[in-house]
Amino acid sequence: MSEQDYQYPMRLQRGDIEQILPHRGAIFVCQQLTIEGPHQFHGVASWPHDNAVIQGHFPGMPIVPGVMLIESMAQFAGAGLLAGDPYVKTLPDDSVGVLAAVRNCWFKQPVLPDQQVEFFIHCRQMAPLLVQVHAQVKVAEQEVAKLEIALAYAPRAQLQATGG
């Protein structure tokens, strides 16, 4: 498939993203994802007050952990690449994207539970199995974070637990 075979923008709701990613429970807060091109994504997430991660992080002073912003960014990038990047479609079917590096992160303001958080993401293929991901994160049009990570593709069997 080539880029011309894709119809951008593609809009995915939470259920669509769940069909692409294995994540569930408190770690999965992706609400919607717009794939604007093969490497350009806009994601929306929100952490409810009753999310287990929020409950245990600064009890009585609920803020969304920065690591959750990083994880959500990785999920949005992974889903966007799997659904909208023609190159990723050429990888073996058992390939799965995993967080490979956290390179540069700036947290400018706290993110609170129930706020709508927007991720403006750009990806760049660095090597056949490595993608650099940049994101600007906003709440109510105010920048709250700038993030840079790397995702790597690995065979699913390599990541699955071996009994014992």
Tokens matching residue 92: 């073996």
Catalytic residue among 23, 42, 49, 57: 57
- 57 given a catalytic annotation: yes
- Closest C-alpha among 146, 132, 138, 118 to residue 36: 118
* Cα–Cα distance list, 122 to 27, 35, 38, 114, 160 (Å): 22, 10, 9, 25, 29
Q: Indicate the residue type of 98.
A: V
- C-beta separation of 90 from 28 below 8 A: no
- Closest C-alpha among 108, 74, 94, 86 to residue 157: 94
**Residues with active-site annotation:** 57
